[in-house]
Structure 1
Amino acid sequence: MKKKQIAFIEMETHSALLEQWYLLLKDMTFVEYHFFVSKKVNDKLTSIPQYKISEIPFVDGVDFSGFDAVVVNTMHRNFEQYQRLLQDKPVLCLIHNLNFSLFFETISWKNVLEEKQRFTYFLKLYIKEKVASRRKIILGAKQLGVLSHSLLEEIKGKSSLSGKTQVIQLNYCHHFSFNTSNTIQIVIPGNVSNKRKDINLLFDLLPQLQPQEKLHFTFLGKPENHKISKQLEFLKENCHQNITLSYFDRFIPWEEYSGRIAEAHLLLCPVKKETSFYWVDEVYGKTKVSGSEGDCIYNGKIGLFPTTYPKMDWHNWYYENGDSLRTILNTLTFEHLESEYRKLEPFVEKYAFEKVKKRVETQLIKLTEI
């Protein structure tokens, strides 16, 4: 079979997801690929070779005639630039926010009040860029993709578009080991922000803990603002003697990010039930996927999630509220963790690299045949 030429476009935010694509693509037999990205995305890429990347200011005007198909990694702005491409090529668009990008929910005015610091930015999107009306351009894509089965089930219940929507499973288990250090390493992945995580719950809880074992908490993301940085500094000095803590004050490159998670015993993921995107309400696990799902699978780690987050196809732990989370962390032991990691082994096999790569390669080849 002749190799299929596929272009990947990312002009906005999901640089880490682009790196996941690359790790699968580079070992595919029948797919050749090239990435077209904005400067801000390119500045965050660390593992993709530069000869596989073209930095572009706009999508409209780029010649994609030499490609059999195109994957749009994110389409949340500048929709009109994609209109001709959607007409001319088999295009797969990934959907990250179902209410904004597929169900076309309207603005929640509660979100407008809560996100006052970004008011001017969002107003520009709605008035100047007309995202509310132009977002429907995405329906011109030949295929739509979501990153979890829970989102696909939500589409099946609400939209007639389930027939052209499929799960694109980019997560495979790259690393599976149990850290033998004498301190239990607990990592909170992603930006330190109250918008998508219940960071306040952790800030209230950590000074109250009296754990049996030594615990080290790593906040593996950039703090949202100076106030959160000050709270992290406060925690460093005001927790039990068995607790230590570290955090970052910068963007963390993807390879360093994954390396830190690889050392963890547990990923603490205080994902909020509800969030928003461009002032539109979204529900984690139903209309929006948490990146913590991929962090768990790629690094072979048990995640600790609130019970409000839908159960993944993976072995995780769950807490109901602050009291149950406190109990879990206070009684956490190496022996318990080791026994729980044995339960992960069947899932590690299910998400083996070769299995995931072949499935995605088949999906890409079928896209070129539309």
Structure 2
Amino acid sequence: MPARIAYIELDTHAEIANRFHDLMLQSEAFSVDYYFSKRILEILEVDGDNIFLSSNSDILKQLNQRHYDLVVIGTVHRYFDLFFRITKRYHTAVICHNLNFIKASKLDLLNGILEKETRYRLKLLLKEKLFLKDKVYKQAQSLWVLSQELAQEKYEYLPLFYNEFDSAAENEIPTIVIPGSVSQLRRDYERVINRLYNATLPLKVIFLGKASGQELEKIKKLKSEKTVLDIVYFTEMVPQPVFDDWMKKADILWCPIQDETKFLGIKENYGITKTSGNIGDAIRYGKRAIFPKFYQNKYPFILLEEGYFSGKKPVFNFAFEDFTKDKIRKDLEKKLLKACK
């Protein structure tokens, strides 16, 4: 008889929920019910007898109506009082996205509240019981991370990303795709633009995300001044079919992530305490990806920026056979089976 799992996503990370859902569709070892907020359901557009509209006020009553061997919480960035009760009552696994936030002290959290977005962060503190954060993570039986470089000590790697598309691209002019919103906040577009000003050979460069403000003006200026570059950019959100099409056409992805970002005022370091969604992009579309030299990784398809742009011809020796859907599903099922015990 299949083990029964509840997967909860009430906040963000719809794409992670979608990966889990897609992988488990063909699973014979597990039966999964999904509890999604209205916002998540609108993004995913999934349906079925095992898909339930939920909210922080409904989820406990819904869970009580069925027996589950494991409850998976996709995001614990809100509703700490709710998830505290769930981890007390159920065998629980939590997907972890910001490791410094998890270990942050009450003083660190208070300083973050006073930094900005004070009204919203005070709501997390007073109404949603932010200070229960530590108990949620301590009571959960399993803590999962989404990339191999973050798997250490109490955090286990959860395989969710698989290769969906043929990686072959046939472009006369090398095509570099830079996926993600064109904002200096989490990615260093100043460094990208400065490097592109030094380009001497023809390149096609796609800024595959909405560009606005100073970044948009700098891209327009680059496009007008560097005729050796064929630049494509967007001033609105990129529709998913357009995003997919450009990603499939890419010869390589360029992921100029910043060394540091912040979550609720707590500093996080990419590759050390937080993973980049671009890892999943590279796996899904079967593409080599350029990352800054500071990024710690265990993936053979990642190239360091300094080496790639050094003028030397890079040597690629990897394949995406380790990321087929069937293999990732089997690896995921092993992880779920372990967590259910």
Other-structure match for 1:358: 330
CA deviations on 1:223-269 (whole Å, 9 max, x unpaired) are 4x54434444444433333322222512644x654443222111101
Q: Distance in 2 between matches of 1:13 and 1:257?
A: 20
Other-structure match for 1:204: 194
CA deviations on 1:283-309 (whole Å, 9 max, x unpaired) are 111110111111111211101011100
Q: Distance in 1 between matches of 2:226 and 2:11?
A: 39
Matched letter for residue 82 of structure 2: Q
Q: Distance in 1 between matches of 2:38 and 2:9?
A: 10
* Superposition pairs of residues 127-138 of structure 1, within 5 angstroms: 127-138=126-137
Q: 1:62 deviation in Å?
A: 2.4
Q: Distance in 1 between matches of 2:238 and 2:151?
A: 31
Is the counterpart of residue 171 in structure 1 residue 170 in structure 2? no
Q: Distance in 2 between matches of 1:178 and 1:103?
A: 44
SS at 2:207's partner residue?
A: strand
Is the counterpart of residue 367 in structure 1 residue 330 in structure 2? no
Q: Distance in 2 between matches of 1:266 and 1:110?
A: 40
Q: 1:106 deviation in Å?
A: 5.0
Among 318, 323, 333, which residue is 2:304 paired with?
318
Other-structure match for 2:52: 54
Distance 1:100 1:3, change over 3 A: same
Distance 1:221 1:12, change over 3 A: farther
Matched letter for residue 97 of structure 1: N
Matched letter for residue 174 of structure 2: I
Among 207, 214, 232, which residue is 1:245 paired with?
232
Distance 1:217 1:350, change over 3 A: same
Matched letter for residue 195 of structure 1: L
Other-structure match for 2:63: 63
Q: Could you tell which deviates more after superposition, 9-18 or 255-264?
A: 255-264
Q: 1:78 deviation in Å?
A: 0.7
* Superposition pairs of residues 77-226 of structure 1, within 5 angstroms: 77-102=78-103, 104=105, 106-107=107-108, 116=116, 118-153=117-152, 156=153, 162=154, 165-206=155-196, 208-213=197-202, 215-223=203-211, 226=213
Q: Could you tell which deviates more after superposition, 140-149 or 243-252?
A: 243-252
Among 344, 348, 351, which residue is 2:318 paired with?
344
Is the counterpart of residue 282 in structure 1 residue 256 in structure 2? no
Distance 1:105 1:149, change over 3 A: farther
8 Å CA contact retained: 1:221, 1:252: no
Q: Distance in 1 between matches of 2:22 and 2:198?
A: 39
CA deviations on 1:111-158 (whole Å, 9 max, x unpaired) are 789x75x444334434543424445323211111111232123xx2xx
Q: Distance in 1 between matches of 2:44 and 2:166?
A: 24
**Aligned-residue identity in percent:** 27
Q: Could you tell which deviates more after superposition, 34-43 or 284-293?
A: 34-43
Q: TM-score, normalised by structure 2?
A: 0.87
The answer for unaligned runs of 5 or more in structure 1 is: 157-161
Q: 1:86 deviation in Å?
A: 1.3
Q: Distance in 1 between matches of 2:42 and 2:217?
A: 28
Other-structure match for 1:159: none
Matched letter for residue 200 of structure 2: P
Other-structure match for 1:27: 26
Q: TM-score, normalised by structure 1?
A: 0.81
Task: Please report the RMSD computed on the Cα atoms of aligned residues, expressed in angstroms.
Answer: 2.8
8 Å CA contact retained: 1:105, 1:280: no
Distance 1:249 1:55, change over 3 A: same
The answer for unaligned runs of 5 or more in structure 2 is: none
8 Å CA contact retained: 1:297, 1:314: no
CA deviations on 1:192-220 (whole Å, 9 max, x unpaired) are 222221122223333x133323x222222
